[in-house]
Amino acid sequence: MATQGTVVYSSDVVVGNQSIVTNGAYTNFDMHIISGSWPSQKYKIVSAVIGCTLRNARWDTITVKTGDITLGAFSAAGTDGARAQSLVTSYDYVDLSNLTLYGGGVGTQISSGSYVTVTVVWELSETVSTISLSNASVDAGSSVTATISSVSSLYTHEILIEFGILSQTLNISAGISSQIITIPISWLDQIPNVQSSPARVTLITYSNGVYIGAVATTLTIRAPQSAAPTFTASCAPLLTVGGTTYPSMGTGVYVQGKSGCTAKITGAAAQYGATISGYSIRGGGYSGANATLATGLLNSSGTIPFVFRVTDSRGLYTEKTVNISVLAYASPKVASLTGWRVDAAGASSLAGTLGKCKAVWSYSQLNSANTCAAKIYIKPTGGSETLLNAAMASNSTYWIATSAGNMTLTATTRYVLRLALTDKYGTVSVTADLPSAAFAMHLNAAGNSIAFGKACEKTNAVEIAAGRTLYLGD
């Protein structure tokens, strides 16, 4: 069934009884719509009826005109009261703004307090095409397919896409039932502060070039991830941390506990009308909300990821990860340091007056960038240190000697050895005892001390060598 509608025009209320005369002087009425509306599609007039209220009806013919166009005529003969009379359907009543009634001037009047009306019924003569989209939303820079459903293969169409102040029109030839719609990514300039917004898609239908009508739908345009900010992320060793400056172990080299990291975001730029709204950097147990992060000392070794994020005013963000390699570091470590008495041939002798020493130690080489120097010192109990002439390579045995030659060790004296290991970050020292010569029993010269298994070192004391057991009783 064809679509129909009704439009009703009316005059203002008639004031005083108005005679219908030959020149229409008293019965000229301005008309306005009081109900209904005209369609945007092509239509035809099905019927038009004038309504009025007559008084003092006489035999007369009343002619209805708008301007110079005659819309119809009817007889006034009969009783007073309301009249309804058909008018022509060839006139497009959408333009109706004025109506005049003409008569013979024989006394017929339009009654005071009544209204003159025209009731028009229209019917669509063409059916507007419809449109559907393959997706309700689309990323800017991408496409959707519009499907056109039309009652006639002769219809042509236009698709109008409107987004903010921007628009584009696609002309669709007759017989085409689908159309690719591509949204320019530059249209994101219209939404600098949100990630999506609706666009209006209107399908306009024409028949032989004549406008029939239009229908519209909504297409949500999204900002794709490719519209997120761009930037460069970088990391570099930080050698001054907490007021202390540490030596470099080479370009781009990070050392556990001895360097930090300066992480930077540079060249950050938002796209398509957006602005940068925030930064964040995190890594190595540190984080910050600025474009530069200066960490404290890196406390772990191995691969450490630093994650950089830049966010724009739409809420889109880009993340990048830079992995840094941190070399493991520990201060130089002495596993053992020993010294013992020997005889002139170098054989171990508890009563010897010469000595040898040996140390087992290690350090972090840091890909050969770090170095470690070993020095060994000796001092008698209560005395001062003397630097020995020994390279002290790890796990090697050396004579206790100075540059002048092997040292003579007093039989009754205990000595202390000190090994100092110095790498590029500092010095570590450890000590070890070199005992006095072994005696079954030793009485000091003053006669006030006695020692068992060793020489006397203290006065007014009884001493027992380390590792010996004292038994009391049976």
Number of Cβ atoms within 10 Å of the Cβ of 59: 11
Rounded Cα–Cα distance for residues 427 and 435 (Å): 26
Locus of tokens 């556990």: 256
Rounded Cα–Cα distance for residues 276 and 298 (Å): 30
In tens digits, the chain (474 residues) has pLDDT values of 567 899 999 999 999 999 999 999 999 999 999 999 998 777 899 999 999 999 998 888 999 999 999 999 999 887 789 999 999 999 999 999 999 999 988 889 999 999 999 999 998 877 889 999 999 999 999 999 999 999 889 999 999 999 999 999 999 999 999 999 999 999 999 999 999 999 999 999 998 888 888 999 999 999 999 999 999 999 999 999 999 999 999 999 999 999 999 999 999 999 999 999 999 999 999 999 999 999 999 999 999 999 999 999 999 999 999 999 999 999 999 999 999 999 999 999 998 999 999 999 999 999 999 999 999 999 998 899 999 999 999 999 999 999 999 999 999 899 999 999 999 999 999 999 999 876 545 566 666 777 666 666 667 777 776 666 666 655
- Per-residue confidence (pLDDT) for residue 249, from 0 to 100: 97
Rounded Cα–Cα distance for residues 41 and 4 (Å): 12
Residue 227 three-state SS: helix
- Per-residue confidence (pLDDT) for residue 440, from 0 to 100: 46
Note whether 271 and 230 are within 8 A (CB): yes
Rounded Cα–Cα distance for residues 384 and 416 (Å): 10
pTM for this model (two decimals) = 0.69
3-state secondary structure string across 139-206 = ECCCEEEEEEECCCCCCEEEEEEEECCEEEEEEECCCCCEEEEECCHHHHHHCCCCCEEEEEEEEEEE
Locus of tokens 């008084």: 55
Measuring CA to CA, which residue among 285, 219, 9, 111 is closest to residue 293?
Answer: 285
Task: Give the distance from CA 301 to its chain's centroid.
Answer: 30
Rounded Cα–Cα distance for residues 397 and 406 (Å): 14
Q: Residue 44: CB partners within 8 Å, gap ≥ 6?
A: 89, 122, 123, 125
Integer CA distances (angstroms), 353 to 345, 385, 408, 438, in order: 11, 18, 6, 11
Rounded Cα–Cα distance for residues 2 and 366 (Å): 90
Number of Cβ atoms within 10 Å of the Cβ of 279: 20
What DSSP designation does 345 have?
A: T
Integer CA distances (angstroms), 35 to 5, 6, 114, in order: 11, 8, 18
What DSSP designation does 348 have?
A: B
3-state secondary structure string across 418-468 = EEEEEECCEEEEEEEEECCCCCCCEECCCCCCEEECCCCCCCCCEEECCCC
Number of Cβ atoms within 10 Å of the Cβ of 141: 19
Rounded Cα–Cα distance for residues 74 and 62 (Å): 5
Rg over alpha carbons for the chain, rounded to the nearest Å, is 55
- Residue 85, φ and ψ in degrees, nearest 5: -140, 135
Q: Decide: residue 229, CB within 10 A, 0-12 exposed, 13-18 middle, 19+ buried.
A: buried
- Residue 270, φ and ψ in degrees, nearest 5: -80, 165
